[in-house]
Amino acid sequence: MPSPTSVENPKGLPPILKSEIKLQLALTTALAVITTIVVLGRLYIRRFYIGKVELNDWVLLLAWIFLIGFTGTQLASVPTAYTLSDHLEQGVFDPDAITLKLKYDYVLIILYYACVYLTKLSILCLYLRLCKRENKLRYLSSGWLLRALTWLTLVFITLMFIPCVLVSICRCIPPSNVWSIRSDAKDVGCINRIVFFLSTSVLHIFADIVIAILPIPLVLKIRGPLIYRISLLGVLMLGLLATIACVGRLVILVEAYQGKGFFYQYATMINTWSYCECALGIIGASVPALKPVLRKIFQILGTAGWTNASCTGPQERSGQSGSLPYHIAIEENKRRIKNLHLAEVGDLQDSKCSKSVSKTRTDSSGSGSARTQSPLTTRQEVSIPLAAKLRMSGCSDTH
């Protein structure tokens, strides 16, 4: 029902499409549930399966908290959008509903920039953690370059985030003009919000592409089957889903900039695409940490080859820094054991004990009778414990 301050629609403003409001409600609810499951599952695996929660996990958790705030604000704005649409359909102009809708939009844009920044920061923190093992993993000889580029990207997104938040808060002087419906409020002390949103969207797309490209040389140098490296690249490229959503948001902004309608008509879809970008970014950043669960799924499907290695470093398997990824450590241990056995067999064959191991024991009567043992075969020598072999190697001193 229109509020007491409602007046007749003076300009015949078109209503907000209810189909867009329903789409916003459905996508927000579905993505909120999926993102919550993914993030909590990630933290559970890191804490109880791997035993260590890293900095990038905490940063992504903070991004999820902002997304929950985004979710609550967006869902709270749905009834207002419905009310505003009904009033405009009835030819009624409701200032109170419009003011409340603008206040919701004001909060949403701030939460959007915070969520997007923290998601990118979490991914870059993961890259920096990978770079710490440059001296441990010989095949990561280009780790220093990845570290430098990662830091440059981190500085870039930080320098982009701070002005975005400040401008979003103070894009009108005073800020209350943001949700004012007075005709002169938009002409005094306010920046062009569409141009601002367009420029930041382009910068976000650029940053997403850079972040997706950064680990490619690193992944290509990892030892392992080709299918593993391709699958790993595919997992890392899931972050581009957020880029697709950002492109969708950019398209709506371009339409609004070209003046094909009133801005409030596009606000619902802009907020919807913004939410999709945040949620898909968090989901894409969380998939690598879900490796243990994905391994079991791929084992069931019979395609678990790519999960034999860790895409997030040694901490994913053992929780200890400075160790090799699991599949490389297994192969390295096999090689060392084989070399150790060959060396031990060679030592035993060259020693006097490997040619003839015998002991002569005299009985208590001093009869001088002796019992001898036959020489050991190579198979028997290998099966002797290492400690026993070391004791045997010193027997030449007693004979």
d(Cα 309, Cα 218) in Å, to the nearest integer?
A: 14
Per-residue pLDDT at 165: 93
Query: For residues 370 and 360, is the Cβ–Cβ distance under 8 A?
Result: yes
Residue 72, Cα to own-chain centre: how many angstroms?
A: 23
CA torsion, points 191, 193, 194, 197, in degrees to nearest 10? 120
296 or 352: which leads in pLDDT: 296
Higher per-residue confidence, 265 vs 363: 265
pTM score = 0.69
Residue 330: predicted pLDDT = 59
Mean predicted lDDT score pLDDT of the chain: 74
Q: What is the pLDDT of residue 290?
A: 80
pLDDT digits (tens, 9 = 90+) for 94-112: 788 888 888 899 999 999 9
Model confidence band, residue 12 (pLDDT cutoffs 50, 70, 90): low
Closest CA to 201 of 155, 238, 171, 242: 242
pLDDT of 242-289, one tens digit each?
A: 899 999 999 988 888 887 666 777 888 899 999 999 999 999 888 877
7-305: which CATH architecture?
Answer: Up-down Bundle (1.20)
List phi, psi (to 5°) of 172: -130, 145
Domain boundary assignment for the chain? 7-305
Per residue in 57-97, pLDDT (tens digit) is 999 999 999 999 999 999 999 998 888 888 777 777 778 88
